[in-house]
Amino acid sequence: MTQQSHDLLADTPAHWSVTTTSTPFTGNKTSVRADEVVMPDGGTARRDYQVHPGSVAVLALDERDRVTVIEQYRHPVRHKLWEIPAGLLDVPGENPLHAAQRELYEEAHVKAEDWRVLIDLYTSPGGSDEAVRVFLARDLSVAQGERFAVSEEEADMRHAQVPLDELARGLLAGRLHNTCLATGVLAVLAARAGDGLDALRPAEAPWPARPFTF
């Protein structure tokens, strides 16, 4: 691949015309939208998709190269999944770094001094507009004060610190399946094989998929 073609390898914003739109379902945090979209051949097609506020996730990596993970029941897939701390962007325009710091504290009772953007992704762009920003958190310590009071499915969570390489093996063997865990672990390994973790984007890097204020 030439340098010129390498520079062109990037997702680009686009917006096909929508003739009609409706919201047949509105839930607690998300909704379903139905759009009639004009296709390149001039025809139209209906596209139903989940409207989602966006999410953040945190790959917290300690000095022994272990990742903080939690086990949580996920009803749609009928599994308890090992995941990294994550949560919704509940407040429109919320700074994703602040949300990530909150989630790391609430779900793992951990704080971090070094934060970087690890990877941005759309979880299922054919059926949802959910965008996720995964952060890398380092220089970890136990958070001060009382642990956050958990409830509902979070009351059953288990916590662990698992070596990064062990998680990678579990993913490739088909034992682990969570999206943010998979992309976070493999992104760290890719970053190390490239320019290194210190070359990752700063924690406040722009995120066009979910604009925010500093």
Tokens of 42: 């001039």
Torsion-angle region of 78 (φ positive above 0: left; ψ -120 to 50: alpha; else: beta): left
- 107 catalytic? Reply is no
Q: Name the β-bridge partners of 136.
A: 59, 116
Please, are residues 18 and 49 in contact by the beta-carbon 8 Å criterion? no
Place of tokens 């790959």: 59
Residue 156 three-state SS: helix
User: Of the residues 36, 71, 154, 166, which is catalytic?
Assistant: 154
Sign, Cα dihedral of 59, 60, 61, 66:
negative
State the Cα–Cα distance between residues 81 and 74, nearest whole angstrom: 7
Question: Which parts of 81-161 fold into alpha helices (H)?
Answer: 96-108
Q: Which residues are catalytic?
A: 154
